[in-house]
Structure 1
Amino acid sequence: MSAPVILDPCCGSRMMWFDKKHPAAVFGDLRSETLTVTDRSHGKPNGKRTLFITPDVRLDFRALPYVDDWFYLVAFDPPHLVRAGRRSWLAAKYGTLSRDWRADIRAGFAECFRVLRPNGTLVFKWNETQIKVREVLELSPYQPLFGNTAGKRNGTHWLVFMKPAGAAG
């Protein structure tokens, strides 16, 4: 098999993937763990849910271990919570940002664009329950090309970026 050409640097439990083992993708995350937390929203008698976070590579999205201009596609779905209970289902599912979340997201965008090939595509997913998407977009070096506008109702935005042809790694 050839080297992966798609990067998901914050894969978590790979919730958004239809093929959670897609051969063209490398799944990375800072966490590698199995978490069982209480979540009574799914009607299980014991109220417990288990989440498996099993990245191919343990990495920090703020300092990616890849060369410049490698990937054709980056799927960037960073943690979007700054407030969540330590053992909550949302914290387990999505992870949490540090107090300096702006620096984290700015570094994440910079790294994702660095490893993305010129004219490559970055798909960015953000839920604005706690932080508005407009605040996050101020941290990207590029503006999105397009995305969904239904986020105001459900809070989740999908935005598509293209790395400019002349941009350096």
Structure 2
Amino acid sequence: MFYFDKNDDRVLFQDIRSFETTLCDGRTFEVDPDIQADFTNMPYEDEHFSMVVFDPPHLLRNVGNSKFADIYGSLNEKATPKGYQHIKYGALYSDWRDMLSKGFNECFRVLMHGGFLIFKWNETDIKVSEVLKLTSEKPVFGHISGKRSNTHWICFMKK
């Protein structure tokens, strides 16, 4: 997680997952959301939040039995994510465009007018330009970060 204080009462952490596991390097990894819900169908009233951070899964991999299977896993439509990257970050399937489009719609639905949506995307598998086509909203500004400059932080402001 990227917030400074998990216990900050201004922060509500939502994830569809809730689990604890040991990663292949021995570290414990836990997903313990305040609200367990799907970002395509959030349980909040319209215009509920002044800021929303949208950090959806970004990995779309099918590496079979390659040397990367322990990192990324081998996914098909029914496979459970097993590689540590998919366990940590979740996984996208063939319906990723529909899922992310619904996610953007939900984020803007629960966002107040004048509120900010911070969208985080890593271009490991899918270019940010392809993802931004999934919303009619236009970003205000963005920033690229990460070792390989693959991570995009994009800010939208709801009119």
- TM category, shorter: 0.7 to 0.9
Partners of 1:33 and 1:153 in 2: CA distance: 29
The residue aligned with 1:95 is: 90
Count of matched residue positions in the alignment of Structure 1 and Structure 2: 142
Aligned-residue CA RMSD in angstroms?
1.4
TM-score (norm 1): 0.80
Q: Percent identity?
A: 49
- 1:78 lines up with 2:56 in the alignment: yes
- 1:111 lines up with 2:106 in the alignment: yes
TM-score (norm 2): 0.85
Structure 1: gaps spanning 5 or more residues:
1-14, 39-46, 165-169
Off by >3 Å, runs of 4+ in structure 1? 149-153
Q: 2:119 pairs with 121, 124, 143, which one?
A: 124
The residue aligned with 1:136 is: 131
Counterpart residue identity of residue 42, structure 2: L
Q: 2:151 pairs with 139, 156, 159, which one?
A: 156
Deviation of residue 157 (structure 1)? Answer: 0.4
The residue aligned with 1:8 is: none
Structure 2: gaps spanning 5 or more residues:
62-71, 74-80
Question: CA, structure 1 residues 26+149, in 2 after alignment: closer, same or farther (shift >3 Å)?
Answer: closer
Counterpart residue identity of residue 5, structure 2: D
- 1:52 lines up with 2:30 in the alignment: yes
Aligned to 2:6, what secondary structure does the other structure show? coil
Deviation of residue 151 (structure 1)? Answer: 6.5
